[in-house]
Amino acid sequence: MQTNQLKRNHPNTKRMIVARGGKRGKTSGRGGKGQSARAGNKRRPEWRDIIKQLPKLRGRGVNQHKSIQDRPAIINIGVLEELFNAGDSITPTILVEKFAIKTRSGKIPEVKILGDGEITKKFVITGCFISDSAKAKIEKVGGSVKDAAKPAMVKNPGPKDTSVFVPKAVKPVAAKKAPKVKAVKTEKVAKVKPVAKVTTESKK
């Protein structure tokens, strides 16, 4: 073996920078001129920018999975103690007039009274949701709760049972009437009179 025949086990690898020479000549596999032939060509697709502009989901119920039912306005009995006098009647309309709650889209919302705080005055509460603790405190002082609204409970029907086949009611099909056949007019044929026989005697 000669010195000019020596080879390295791990030769250095070099990236093709100049287009001329090597295995890839001329344009070095980059095609013709233009943006795609330049170094550092990393164009962002348009749909990527559209995705980046979309709002992010900051928790469940913020951007989706929202309840279609309006939640009632919350007020505690401690606030009622400060706003009303003993013996006053409390309704959602009166709470709006006292600026205890706000209207929603020009409508008076449903109200729920919670038991946070202490109460020493007796009130007559009508047409409001009320928690058990708040109701106990109001009745303990001598107040009363009339026509307490109850939230409507909607049961989830759940997935349909496909194991049992229930045929649908079939409507009776009315019998089709037979089409009317028009009478064909027959042409009258003229009667042909018999021709008299000509004999030889009559000719003479």
Concatenated DSSP letters of 138-189: HHHHT-EEES---PPP-----S---SS--PPPPPPPPPPPPPPPPPPPPPPP
Whether residue 14 lies inside any domain: the answer is no
Whether residue 82 lies inside any domain: the answer is yes
Whether residue 118 lies inside any domain: the answer is yes
Q: Mean pLDDT across the chain, nearest whole number?
A: 77
What does the pLDDT average to over 176-186? 66
pLDDT score for 149: 53
Whether residue 192 lies inside any domain: the answer is no
pLDDT score for 137: 93
Tell which wins on pLDDT, 121 or 186: 121
**pTM of the shown model:** 0.44
Whether residue 158 lies inside any domain: the answer is no
Asked whether the predicted pLDDT for residue 156 surpasses 50, the reply is no
Whether residue 129 lies inside any domain: the answer is yes
The token pair at 86 is 């003993």
Residues 6+ apart with CB under 8 A from 89: 123, 124, 125, 126
Q: How far is CA 88 from the centre of its chain?
A: 45
CB-based contact 124:90 (threshold 8 Å): yes
The enclosing domain of 90 has a CATH number of 3.100.10.10
Q: What's the number of domains the chain is made of?
A: 1
**pLDDT digit string, tens, across residues 71-110:** 899 999 999 999 999 999 999 999 999 999 999 888 999 9
Asked whether the predicted pLDDT for residue 173 surpasses 90, the reply is no
Residues 6+ apart with CB under 8 A from 109: 70, 72, 73, 92, 101, 103
**pLDDT digit string, tens, across residues 19-67:** 666 666 677 777 788 888 888 888 888 888 898 888 776 766 666 677 7
pLDDT score for 97: 93
Per the structure, the complete domain to which residue 87 belongs is given by 73-146
Whether residue 166 lies inside any domain: the answer is no
Asked whether the predicted pLDDT for residue 11 surpasses 50, the reply is yes
Closest CA to 148 of 127, 124, 172: 127
Q: In what order do the strands lie in the sheet with 89-90?
A: 89-90, 124-126, 144-146
Whether residue 114 lies inside any domain: the answer is yes
